[in-house]
Chains A and B, each alone.
Chain A
């Protein structure tokens, strides 16, 4: 556990903070560092945490109203005129409603726009399925030229936001609504495209992204009691995938589980399966939403009901080990 000291000392006693807070802090940090950073928001300034940036740099904040398509293309125009725009809305609307604009005016155009999808995943909770983005990672990773990052906690979210501002090219950043465990520390390194080993193991490897990394770690700790040793790798960058790390651990463990708060089709699981099928066919189980829409409920209830809880993860690990 924690071979590189990337994690806090006791992950069962983690602070709780939403990843969107990390985004808000990261925006201010990026804005202080580079005066060309501008922030656009589609009438969701407070809930996407763009508000802090707005208060600090009002002349660099652009309120777009409920117009996500315009927001994407306006950002493209601003990027082509030398700005570094971050656009924020709920992930169901952006990407989603503005998928074509992102495709053409940002990706194909190679415009330096950073897309922040807030309230992603089923843990959005009571708002229900219309507001629970489960396909956004798939949409974004299929676009040529997009970098796709799914931070595991608020600390990583802040670093990811700052890193996005520094690289050239379109980036998709995914954040959740709920308070989730802060498991990394300010000293944990963060590099786009570089997976992090949070736990070593022998019997199976879990590749996880987003706040469910915490559930994966809890599952691994509990499985240790049953003498099952599982490695946990944080794949915060879905595109470009850290192929070397994934292949190394798939080769050593010979049993893979992917964990994400997303459809099992098209997201992290899909990306890993594509890689393994080509390079190293390996038994694999998928934790995520199994081809359905979400519904209203509390975040905890929904995570359990839709198969992403600790017990579901443990079951998947045992199942895949059996298939070795």
Chain B
């Protein structure tokens, strides 16, 4: 990927982080840590990886992106708005009565969501079902499923992992937001998941581990997944929850709460400083 493109994506990710903060403070409720942590990956997906058409969300030729950990929908909503699925103004309506931007994604409320999610552990099953149906019809669309690490506590997640391997769903790419936090604390204290890579490998998946904030690494991982033919691939993306905002980074308390007005001001100032740094950075 060319440096110019990479810089564009990094700037876009920064803009998306700013709009996540603006959206959450306006709504007064919602999740901060996850959306900020996944902003780079969602930018790469919506602006580089996915075959999609914001003007035609039901385009049959589109790739599918399932968000299993639906609570981080703010990052999806913001990415979709920036991509042109709906006006950026509408981001202000998150979680309000009558809004298309429901607190957890509701398929029929907003074109382009692919499915409803929120209860953890169901997304991969649905993604695998879509992938299997597409394979049955000999279609070449790819299915991506973004998941949290915490939802790997749920048995259903592993049911889906087994199922995808059985049917050799190589058109399915899982993405795990490995940020090491969940509601009650750190994942390795709540219900230890390590070694996640070994687990997936023993379940017959191809596994790639990346820095979830390195867009180039993510793009390379997605490309690699496309040429693995006998297995589904999972990209375990190490992320920092609350990435980009100093007082939020790595604090599990920011999983489920939005910033207040003062906190939002500080956050936006930090992000704008970061934006300046990206703009000024040299192209090697």
Chain A residues within 8 Å of B, Cβ to Cβ: 38, 59-60, 62, 64-65, 67, 69-70, 72-83, 85, 100-101, 104-105, 108-110
- B106–A74 touching, CB < 8 Å: no
Partner of A104, one of B116, B129, B134, B155: B116
Complex Cα gap A108–B122 (Å):
13
Q: List 6 A–B pairs whose Cβ atoms lie within 8 Å, in order of A's numbering.
A: A64-B163, A74-B129, A75-B129, A77-B115, A80-B129, A81-B134
- B129–A77 touching, CB < 8 Å: yes
Contacts of B128 in A (CB 8 A): 74, 77
- A70–B163 touching, CB < 8 Å: yes
Complex Cα gap A160–B127 (Å):
29
Closest to A104 in B: B119
Contacts of B263-279 to chain A: CB distance below 8 A: none
- B118–A70 touching, CB < 8 Å: no
Given A67-B159, A104-B116, A108-B106, is A73 in contact with B122 using a C-beta cutoff of 8 Å? yes
Q: Besides A65-B162, A65-B163, 8 other CB < 8 A contacts?
A: A70-B125, A70-B160, A73-B122, A74-B132, A74-B163, A76-B126, A80-B107, A80-B130
Given A81-B134, A105-B116, is A74 in contact with B125 using a C-beta cutoff of 8 Å? yes
- B132–A101 touching, CB < 8 Å: no
> Chain B 14-44 against A: per-residue CB contact (8 Å), 1 yes, 0 no?
0000000000000000000000000000000
Contacts of B159 in A (CB 8 A): 67, 69-70
Contacts of B124-159 to chain A: CB distance below 8 A: 125-134, 136-137, 155-156, 159
Partner of B115, one of A62, A64, A74, A76: A76
> Chain B 195-233 against A: per-residue CB contact (8 Å), 1 yes, 0 no?
000000000000000000000000000000000000000
Query: Nearest chain A CB to B99's CB is how many angstroms away?
Result: 16
Report the count of interface residues on B (CB-CB < 8 A): 30
- B107–A109 touching, CB < 8 Å: yes
Complex Cα gap A317–B273 (Å):
80
Is B114 among interface residues, defined by CB-CB distance under 8 A? yes
Partner of A105, one of B115, B136, B155, B162: B115
Is B108 among interface residues, defined by CB-CB distance under 8 A? yes
Contacts of B119 in A (CB 8 A): 100-101, 104
Partner of B126, one of A64, A65, A67, A80: A80
Given A73-B125, A73-B126, A105-B126, is A81 in contact with B133 using a C-beta cutoff of 8 Å? yes
Complex Cα gap A85–B136 (Å):
13
Closest to B139 in A: A81
Contacts of B162 in A (CB 8 A): 65, 67
- A77–B126 touching, CB < 8 Å: yes
